[in-house]
Amino acid sequence: MTDKQSRAHHTVPRFYLERFADDKRQVMRVALPGEQRHRLSVRNASVVNDFYTVELVDGSASDEYEKVFSQVEGAAAPAFRAVLDDAVWPLAANQKIAIAWWAALQAVRTPAARQGSDDVLNLMAGLEVGTGGKAVLRRRMEEDFGRLVGDEELDATWCLYTRPEGPGFKTHPNRHIIRS
């Protein structure tokens, strides 16, 4: 029997959200820009389906990184409790390491980090095309498509690449999790 793959991935660890929850284990979610708010169970807060799912070489999906993140969180939670609930200080070396791993993971596991990757990808694509001009764009399109590219298609693509937000590329989820 195989393990069922996790699909609901917390972008903020549940043990951390519980620190901000009420006695019903709920937090207040404020939808930006801030006009709408509602209560939400910590079980459902900051959940994005398949956020840490990666594509393996054979094309199958894997939630192994979600499992690794759970292990890091599992080690950090008691260290947090030691400091915050039991007023233990200084922490033991293994507890310091657990919190350090947890903190490092928080810096890269968020939707904002993934958006940052998208922004850099789009900026670089726009810069490459903008500095190379339409001739470079046409050549790259023809190489990628394996066919000639007409002026109308070139102009439409040029408009996408040179708009302020760039062409609108999305970084593959593997690039967010697996820095290759």
**48-79 per-position pLDDT tens digit:** 999 989 999 999 999 998 889 999 999 999 99
133-152 pLDDT, tens digit each: 999 999 999 999 999 999 99
DSSP 91: P
Question: Rounded mean pLDDT of 74-90?
Answer: 96
Backbone φ and ψ for 2, nearest 5 degrees, come out as -95, 155
Q: What is the pTM of this model?
A: 0.73
Q: Decide: 127 and 178 in contact? Cβ < 8 Å.
A: no
Q: Decide: 144 and 129 in contact? Cβ < 8 Å.
A: no
Q: Decide: 9 and 38 in contact? Cβ < 8 Å.
A: no
3-39 pLDDT, tens digit each: 688 888 999 999 999 999 999 999 999 988 888 999 9
CA-to-CA distance for 167 and 173, rounded, in angstroms? Answer: 18
Spell out the domain ranges in the chain.
Answer: 8-109, 112-177
CA-to-CA distance for 171 and 11, rounded, in angstroms? Answer: 17
